[in-house]
Amino acid sequence: MSKLELLRHPKQRKLLFSAGFSWLFDAMDVGIISFIVTALTAEWKLSPQQVGVLTSMNSVGMVIGAAAAGYMADRFGRKTILLWTLLIFSVASGLSALAASFAVLCLLRFITGIGLGGELPVASTLVSESMPARDRGRAVVLLESFWAGGWLVAALVSYFVIPKYGWQIAFVIGALPALYAIYLRKSIEDAPRFKEQQASVSKLSFGSKFKSIWAKEHSRSTLMLWILWFTVVFSYYGMFLWLPSVMVLKGFSLVKSFEYVLIMTIAQLPGYFTAAYFIEKFGRKFVMVTYLTLTALSALWFGYADTEGMLIAAGICLSFFNLGAWGGMYAYTPELYPTRVRSTGVGLATSVGRVGGVIAPLLVGVMVGKGISIDTIFGMFFVIVLIGAIGVLLLGKETKGRELAD
């Protein structure tokens, strides 16, 4: 079944697009902050260390949000928690426009991160549980492709709005998803397989679910997923939240840097679509190992690129392969756990990943502040991403075509 054939099924199409737009809004908020930080650096005279702190506050919230939402989605339902997380990050994003100090903005970005971190694993679990086995991987990767749409909207807003109207308007736009939650209340439902088990699932404590994902039958998968999520999220947030600033450090103007990042962002879409095709043709492990290895090589290339053309080409490859790997990761993760602990397992893996998202921007800020070269920084990302690829190769098991375990 092709991607288009999948979208001809009314219920599947409606769910995919309904959850997809919530994903798009999540990505838009994360993307906008990377551009806002670049503008704030000039306006508020932020140091590289402060930039690292501000970009990490989202991820600190995401650590808590992913773990908490994963457990609560197993307890109260995927739909309910998806709506609440959407409202939390929308309202906090809108309030960020009123921040008059660095400390207040950091606090609001932390609250925003709780909603952002919770929404993603819950949405991917909901879609994964609602699709037939032959389409499941492709559907979740297509869900992830909405992330590229969100980054594209963020790049467009930042390119056309921030230089002319200021960074506050960008945050106001980030509050719009609160209105979308009204539509989601009626457009999505929990999957039948979850509804059938909800009564027994909701009785399990967090401790028992944590023990379950580390039980003998799941421990290998859990270890692999935690390594994978940490390395992918570490590299993504370390590289992409700093991308506009890195372009400035390489000598380009603020507007020119936004323009180049916009071009690189567009490359995310074909990265997702190719991963969506390959994940059902060759399997999850093939997509993860291949795309992560090529992400690592692209990071090395970007770090050493010294001409305008080379920078753009390397950045395009980095976006293409890194986001294709993200799509594969979200498709792969829910397939490794049974229904009773699926959302908890996905949420905890995501939460471990978000720890990497906290560390990486801070670490890059410290390294830039100490005058460490960009090529050395991106060489570090090369090594980290390769560790993730090796983890999947050695510890991962193939789930292509398998029914989800109940």
The pLDDT tens digits for 311-366 are: 888 889 998 999 899 889 988 998 999 888 888 898 899 999 989 988 887 888 88
Q: Is residue 369 predicted with pLDDT exceeding 70?
A: yes
Q: Helix or strand or coil: residue 351?
A: helix
Work out the average pLDDT over 197-201: 66
Give Cβ neighbours of residue 304 (< 8 Å, ≥ 6 apart). Answer: 375, 378
> Which residue ranges form the domains of the chain, and what is each CATH number?
10-181+208-395 (1.20.1250.20)
pLDDT of residue 209: 85
Q: Alpha-carbon distance 85 to 19, whole Å?
A: 13
Using 50, 70 and 90 to split pLDDT, how confident is the model at 5? Answer: low
Q: Over pLDDT 70: what percentage of the chain?
A: 93
Residue that wins the pLDDT comparison between 359 and 181: 359
> Within a 13 Å sphere around the CA of 297, how many CA atoms are in the beta-carbon half?
10
Residue 4, burial from CB neighbour count under 10 angstroms (0-12, 13-18, 19+): exposed
- Indicate whether 3 pLDDT > 60: no
- Dist. CA 214–CA 245, nearest whole Å: 40
180 pLDDT above the threshold of 70:
yes
- Interhelix angle 308-332/268-281, rounded to 10 degrees, is 40
Instruction: Give pLDDT, residue 201.
Output: 62
DSSP class of residue 264 equals H
pLDDT band at 4; cut points 50, 70, 90: very low
Tokens representing residue 360 in the block: 């990486």
d(CA 132, CA 126): 12
Contact between 94 and 171 under an 8 Å Cβ cutoff? The reply is yes
* pLDDT (tens digit per residue) in 85-127: 999 989 999 999 999 899 999 999 999 999 988 888 888 888 8
Q: pTM of the predicted model, to two decimals?
A: 0.80
Residue 136: the pLDDT is: 84
pLDDT above 60: residue 2: no
